[in-house]
Amino acid sequence: MIQIIPKPLKVVQGEGIFKFTFSTKVGGDFPKTKKQLVAAFSKSGVEATIVAGDGDINFVTDTNLDKEGYILNIAENKITIKASDEAGAFYCLQTLRQLSKVDIITNAEEIEIPCCVIEDKPRFKRRAFMLDVARHYSTIDTIKECLNMMALNKLNVFHWHLTDDQGWRIEIKKYPLLTEKGACRTATQLAGNKMENETYGEGLYYTQEQIKEIVAYAKELHIEVMPEIDMPGHLVAAIHCYPELSCEGKQIDVSTHWGILDDIGCVGGDKLMPFVKDIIDEIAELFPYPYFHIGGDEVPKKKWKVCPKCQAKIKELGLKGEEDLQGWFNNQILLYLKEKGIKMIGWSEILRATELSDETIIQWWIHSAKASGVDKWLAKGNKVILTPEPYLYMDHCYDMKDLKKYYSVDLDTMGLSPAFENQVLGIEAPLWTEYVRCKEKLQFNIYPRMQALGEINWTAKQNKDFIDFEGRLPLQMQIMDALDIKYANRDAYLVRGFKNWGRASKAWLNWSKNQNHEFEKYCK
């Protein structure tokens, strides 16, 4: 059985096999992917040769094909790979890895690949995974492992949530305190709402050199890295270092608790805007891509309501109130980014402002299309990214969001007309790490949700089928076994039938008592 995730557009199974041996020549176009193909197969023990001319495995440029798409033709004596760009050739290689099972083979003399013809292309452009490294830091190696798994599943955007109330994790040369002081908190709220009274985060940040290393590593895998600097809320770690950024200017601690905090940046004052512009200047040099995420979520306006500077600004600009003050701030940042050729993305609460620039891209995570304002936003022809919290949040337990529910996400699930398909840039899932303190839990929460994320982004709607998807999961699990990745097994990821009635009905209760209960039950 052919087990490919995400499911390709068309697969026609043939007869016979192609034998990949030590004498196989890899030729044609796309030099980078040719090297990657030989490297991928060499892990199994079989070393092929790269040639400049025609090969037994031959890459051909075909500009009639869609971006990122490919046609793979495997005959007994030759494999032909057609693509219009290097990304398409690379995605064909990911398909070929799964067809040949090369990732789970060792010490081979030759590798058999079943004959078939596959035509394939992605459904959505921005197929994204988000990792929060502010609440808990992930090592460079853990991030690289995530990127490798993203590539295998044809995801192409790594959204890096680098800053939050509980820690600042990106080096900014002009503001060294952000990582000297802002990376560190004095205590941490644990699962079950106990406290750990030990400092966390000292030295746990990414230097600009490390950021460049990750960006370069991801680029080889055709993954764009998009930074998020959350503002004007979720800014407590920065305010701890530079109190003048807030309305009251008081010294506050990096937060030791999770949740929404009242201390936010002062948009009426004259300190925040230059600070943000300086940060954007440094960031634009590190991330060579045209997208920046401003956050913008969970911004309580309590402090702005009583801040003379914020109130004066509202008056001066003739704004209707605090939501429009945030909208004005967002539009200023959007214009600043635009001068650098960068587009702005923000979480869906920023739609509460009456005059948000139509050039903003909205990442929709809470409330219905109507209540969030996404329906009006789409009706104007604007763009969105789908990240529905009730379905896709990877930090939540499987008993709250099992894999079947996760897989069901689509425009219709969200109450959107199929007419908006071209305005949906993609589907993105985040891993928030409040209760993710170790690599094993990170893996348990991410996999096999990441496989489903790849499929709901890449696979044509008419080819989506959860039962069929599950039938293709075992190969990915064997690959993860070979990589020592602790994924959730079927008992954990699927909540179904009478047997699990208690589990589903007690999901929120179990979660509020102990956010690790499922991980402890299935993974330890």
Which residues bind to Zn ion, rule: CB under 5 A?
Answer: 247, 266, 268, 307, 309-310
Smaller CB distance to Zn ion: residue 68 or 230? 230
Q: How many of the other CB atoms lie within 10 Å of CB of 257?
A: 14
Q: Closer to Zn ion by CB, 125 or 309: give it.
A: 309
Please check whether residue 289 is in contact with residue 263, taking contact to mean a CB–CB distance below 8 angstroms.
Answer: no
Q: Whole-number minimum distance, CB 246 to Zn ion, in Å?
A: 7
Residue 376 per-residue DSSP state: H
CA atoms of 190 and 436, how far apart (whole Å): 10
Taking the least distance from each CB to Zn ion, the nearer of 268 and 426 is 268
- Spatial distance between the Cα atoms of 79 and 33, rounded to a whole number of angstroms: 14
Residue 250 Cβ, how far from Zn ion at the closest point, in Å?
12
Instruction: Tell me the closest approach of the beta carbon of residue 337 to Zn ion, in angstroms.
Output: 23
Min dist CB 269 to Zn ion, Å, is 5
Pick 266 or 284: Cβ nearer Zn ion: 266
Cβ at position 356, least distance to Zn ion in Å = 20
Q: Which of helix, strand or coil describes residue 458?
A: helix
Angle at 180 between CA 174 and CA 186, to 5 degrees: 145
Considering the complex, state which of residue 268 and residue 388 has its C-beta at the smaller distance from Zn ion: 268
Q: How near is the Cβ of 400 to Zn ion at its closest, in Å?
A: 37
Q: Shortest gap between Cβ of 248 and Zn ion (angstroms)? A: 8
Identity of the residue, 48 or 247, whose beta carbon is nearer to Zn ion in the bound complex: 247
- Kindly give the pairing relationship between strand 79-83 and strand 224-228: unpaired
DSSP conformation class of 8: P
The region that residue 68 occupies, defined by phi over 0 for left and psi between -120 and 50 for alpha, beta otherwise, is left
CB of 247 to Zn ion, least distance (A): 3
CB of 175 to Zn ion, least distance (A): 20
The minimum distance between CB 259 and Zn ion, in angstroms, equals: 21
Joined together, the tokens standing for residue 381 give: 């022809």
Contacts of 208 by beta carbon, 8 Å cutoff, 6+ apart: 170, 171, 173, 282, 286
Q: Is the dihedral of CA 58, 64, 66, 72 positive or negative?
A: negative
Q: To the nearest 5 percent, what fractions of the chain are helix, strand and coil?
A: 40, 20, 40
As given in the structure block, the two tokens for residue 228 are: 């998020």
Beta strands in 104-262 (DSSP E): 111-120, 128-132, 157-161, 163-164, 167-168, 188-189, 195-196, 224-228
The residues, any chain, with a CB within 8 Å of residue 339's CB and separated by 6 or more, are none
Q: How many CB atoms lie within 10 A of CB 288?
A: 12
Strand ranges in 21-120 using DSSP code E only, listed in sequence order = 25-28, 49-50, 57-61, 70-74, 79-83, 111-120
Q: CA end-to-end span of the chain, whole Å? A: 32
**Three-state SS for 251?**
coil
**Whole-Å CA distances, 143 to 29, 36, 51, 170:** 30, 20, 33, 14
Nearer to Zn ion, 248 or 389 (CB): 248
Smallest distance, Zn ion to C-beta of residue 303, A: 6
- Count other C-beta atoms under 10 Å from residue 511's C-beta: 18
**Which of 247/351 has CB closer to Zn ion?**
247
Which residue, 47 or 262, is less far from Zn ion as judged by CB?
A: 262
Tokens 């839990």 correspond to 441
With contact defined as beta carbons under 8 Å apart, do 261 and 165 qualify?
A: yes
Of 307 and 342, CB closest to Zn ion: 307
Token code pair at residue 331: 């539009």
The least distance separating Zn ion from the CB of residue 316, rounded to whole angstroms, comes to 13
Minimum distance, C-beta of residue 255 to Zn ion, in the bound complex (Å): 19
CA dihedral 279, 266, 183, 174 (to 10 degrees): 30
Nearer to Zn ion, 101 or 309 (CB): 309
State yes or no: cis peptide before 288, omega within 30 of 0.
no
Q: Which of 244/281 has CB closer to Zn ion?
A: 244
Q: Which of these, 238, 234, 140, lies nearest to 183 by C-alpha position?
A: 238
